[in-house]
Structure 1
Amino acid sequence: MKKLLIMMGTAVFLILVSACQSSESDENDNAKSTDPLAPLEETAKVVIAEDGSASGAGFYIAKDKGYFEKYNIEVEFATFGNSDEMLPAVAAGEVDVAGGISSASFFNSIAQGIDVRFIADKGHNNEGSSYFTFVVREDLKDDITDYEDVKGKKIAVSTQNAVDHYIYNEMLKHANVSTEEVEFVLMSDFGNMMSAMGNQQIDLALQIEPLITQGENQAIHQRFLDATDYAPEAQIAMVLGSPKFLTERRDVAVRFMAAYLQGVRDYHDVFIKDIDDNGEVISIMANHTALKDEDLWKEVGVTGLNPNGYIFEDDVEKQYQFYKENGAIQGELDFDTIIDMSLVEEALDIIGTYEE
């Protein structure tokens, strides 16, 4: 009888233990299922069209620091010769994410039926240290010191009816100088601008980093004030998303955006807040971009990237209107559809906003 009671007690105990374990397992499963950023059950591949530009920092850092892997996302970088090849691939969902530079041809492609979305910031100037700004020839730096001094000068710009041209136009308006009072020199290669400066063929140029800093170090040119004086919210580049990625793969897209923003925040911590990370972010940037000199990364004006993801929507439309007034746009665009910050907002609701 005593043996029977012991056996019955043991059975009850085992049942209770099993029930508790089952309850804990259910709770863990429920917690996992309600975690909006739990790792994906199956590895998801995300294809990014990126060519090693500095504005791709968020992608590179998130990849190398394991932020994508944390959500069971595998990223693959793809390169295209130009936007004419890249945009259709994004629209078709063959590429999930890409970078877009503002230009009339870019907007025209969208107006003609290429369906893509602007989903996050991928490049703007930082106040006082713009990565895309004007430089003045070294021997003229004492003669051209303020905006009105550009009157009568030869100014090189890399692209017509693109963000370069827009910034050039904003600078002239700020200087109260008409386009007829300067000579617009179209020079597509930034490296050639350096040579033209050395040969005294041009007086100013809208130049880009790291050539701005390299030219200063070589006494070829000097920074001419700063682009944020007259174009403080110029949206230079945007992260593009495939509509299929945003809808059919939303669970992947939200996790992708959360990882991307974490990469951008690490970048912002190092380059804007000057937080020491023992050189990890600079090493990642040197590994993925054409600028391999890690010491030079400490000197250059870096691409601005919003740690909360938002783009300057009003400026995007302002650029579009500029191209349209120049007769370079065919067709109308619905920016309420094209600019889609919903993915950024959904990610921010989960990971929180970045505090400066």
Structure 2
Amino acid sequence: MRMPGICRLQLVWASAAVIAGLASAAACAHAQGQPWRHGVIEPKSDAGFQVMAVRGGFAAKQGLKLELPYFQNDVIALRALLAGELESYEGGAATAIIAAARNADVKIIGCHWQTVVHSVFARAEFKGPQDLKGATMAISAPNATPDMIGKAYLAQNDVPASEVKFASLGNDPERYKALLGGIALATVISIEFLPIGKTDGIKLVARGSEVMPKYLRLCAVTTGKLLDARREDAVRFLAAQMQGYNYALANREEELRITREIAGIKAGDPRPEFMFAEAARADTGIDPRMPIPMDKLEWLQQQLVKAGNLSQPFDVSRVVNGDIRAQALARAGLPR
């Protein structure tokens, strides 16, 4: 006997409901599984971009519990990654390249901020690079981005690093205070201090993007071992990051509000607006598609060899995994 049409339709609806319920339950179960711990640099005037994958609900929609522990710099975050305390971190490509050259298991899976924003600043009495001989330059940890930019600036201006006193003085605000207090003559800090430095007698000496124009500011770094063990989570993570960056760029006021909230920046401080404008620059700012420009990585490796950070070049492609990005792009709904 043939089943009446309405009964067949009810069965189809019922089947669809069951499938949808199973899919929803699977997503919930996945979200309740292992968290993905992504290390980020201590919040500054672009903090809204860092957290939008979580605050915008994109990680949850991907079925991922995303945690964002803070680190003072990417060198410390790298150590945490290799110790198994993180699944990934964001930082400069140089740190990952140096680690890979020493046979560390690190993989760059995407780079969102296309040009470095750390720049050289100095006190008002600074007249030129030669003034740094015998003077103090405040930096971060060795091989972290501020250290790389500072030493590249010295090399380009024929100032031997051996004739400069380097002081590792923590994060950007602490190094800025070192200038204000006369502890250091120059330092390397985010370009975000330009708007307030003018009133404090602190001047911009050289943009990091001029010193090292192909230096990628921020890339997402993980390990090959983790990609083997949690590949699906890695795709979910990167897709959520892409969607978060894309949303933040399209929703300026929300990004600024979250930045001020997280970083504790008062309403009259112009830095969040300044950094949003930097992030929105199509050629040098944030690209939500998180490309991995091999030409920039090759260039950076050459600079590291010249500076003595690497003894010899190696196949830099071994520090890259592009498959995760390709899958994440499709899942995020962004163009290639």
Q: What is the alpha-carbon distance in structure 2 between the residues aligned to residue 80 and residue 136 of structure 1?
A: 25
1:285 aligns with 2:259: yes
RMSD: 4.1
- Secondary structure of residue in 2 paired with 1:73: coil
Q: Is the 8 A contact 1:121 1:309 kept in 2?
A: yes
Q: What is the alpha-carbon distance in structure 2 between the residues aligned to residue 165 and residue 321 of structure 1?
A: 17
Q: What is the alpha-carbon distance in structure 2 between the residues aligned to residue 51 and residue 327 of structure 1?
A: 26
1:179 aligns with 2:159: yes
Provide Cα deviations, 1:294-322, integer angstroms capped at 9, x if missing partner: 54344443564321112443333333333
Among residues 42, 54, 63, which one is paired with 2:30 in the alignment? 42
1:249 aligns with 2:230: yes
Q: 1:91-170 to 2 correspondence within 5 Å?
A: 91=82, 94-103=85-94, 107-121=97-111, 123-125=113-115, 131-138=117-124, 150-154=128-132, 156=137, 158-159=139-140, 161-168=143-150
Q: Is the 8 A contact 1:101 1:237 kept in 2?
A: yes
Q: What is the alpha-carbon distance in structure 2 between the residues aligned to residue 257 and residue 231 of structure 1?
A: 27
Give the letter aligned to residue 135 of structure 1. Answer: F
Equivalent residue, structure 2, for 1:60: 51
Q: What is the alpha-carbon distance in structure 2 between the residues aligned to residue 262 and residue 66 of structure 1?
A: 10
Q: Is the 8 A contact 1:235 1:312 kept in 2?
A: no
Change in Cα spacing, 1:25 to 1:12, as seen in structure 2 (3 Å) is: closer
Q: What is the alpha-carbon distance in structure 1 between the residues aligned to residue 321 and residue 91 of structure 2?
A: 14
Q: What is the alpha-carbon distance in structure 1 between the residues aligned to residue 36 and residue 148 of structure 2?
A: 33
Equivalent residue, structure 2, for 1:262: 243
Equivalent residue, structure 1, for 2:282: none
Q: How far did 1:63 drift?
A: 0.6
Equivalent residue, structure 2, for 1:18: 7
TM-score normalized by the length of structure 1: 0.70
When structure 1 is superposed on structure 2, of 61-70 and 220-229 the one drifting more is 220-229
Change in Cα spacing, 1:25 to 1:343, as seen in structure 2 (3 Å) is: farther
Equivalent residue, structure 2, for 1:4: none
Give the letter aligned to residue 131 of structure 2. Answer: K
Equivalent residue, structure 2, for 1:70: 61
Report the identity percentage. Answer: 18
1:351 aligns with 2:332: yes
Q: What is the alpha-carbon distance in structure 1 between the residues aligned to residue 42 and residue 258 of structure 2?
A: 11
Q: How far did 1:170 drift?
A: 5.0
Q: Is the 8 A contact 2:214 2:300 kept in 1?
A: no
Give the letter aligned to residue 248 of structure 1. Answer: A
Provide Cα deviations, 1:261-316, integer angstroms capped at 9, x if missing partner: 1111123335xxxxx5xx3222222333x343254344443564321112443333
Q: How far did 1:61 drift?
A: 0.9
Change in Cα spacing, 1:291 to 1:123, as seen in structure 2 (3 Å) is: farther
Change in Cα spacing, 1:58 to 1:29, as seen in structure 2 (3 Å) is: farther
Q: Is the 8 A contact 1:194 1:215 kept in 2?
A: no
Q: Which consecutive unaligned segments of at least 5 residues does structure 2 have? A: 280-284
Q: What is the alpha-carbon distance in structure 1 between the residues aligned to residue 73 and residue 121 of structure 2?
A: 27
Among residues 192, 195, 203, which one is paired with 1:213 in the alignment? 195
Structure showing greater radius of gyration is 1
Q: What is the alpha-carbon distance in structure 2 between the residues aligned to residue 29 and residue 94 of structure 1?
A: 38
Q: Which consecutive unaligned segments of at least 5 residues does structure 1 have? A: 1-7, 145-149, 271-275
Q: Is the 8 A contact 1:194 1:220 kept in 2?
A: no
Among residues 306, 310, 334, which one is paired with 1:329 in the alignment? 310
- Secondary structure of residue in 2 paired with 1:224: strand
Equivalent residue, structure 1, for 2:213: 232
Give the letter aligned to residue 178 of structure 1. Answer: D
Provide Cα deviations, 1:311-346, integer angstroms capped at 9, x if missing partner: 443333333333333433368654212112322222
Equivalent residue, structure 1, for 2:286: 305
Change in Cα spacing, 1:77 to 1:181, as seen in structure 2 (3 Å) is: closer
Q: Is the 8 A contact 2:120 2:208 kept in 1?
A: yes
Q: What is the alpha-carbon distance in structure 1 between the residues aligned to residue 105 and residue 193 of structure 2?
A: 34
Q: What is the alpha-carbon distance in structure 1 between the residues aligned to residue 129 and residue 223 of structure 2?
A: 44
- Secondary structure of residue in 2 paired with 1:133: strand
Q: What is the alpha-carbon distance in structure 1 between the residues aligned to residue 200 and residue 328 of structure 2?
A: 45
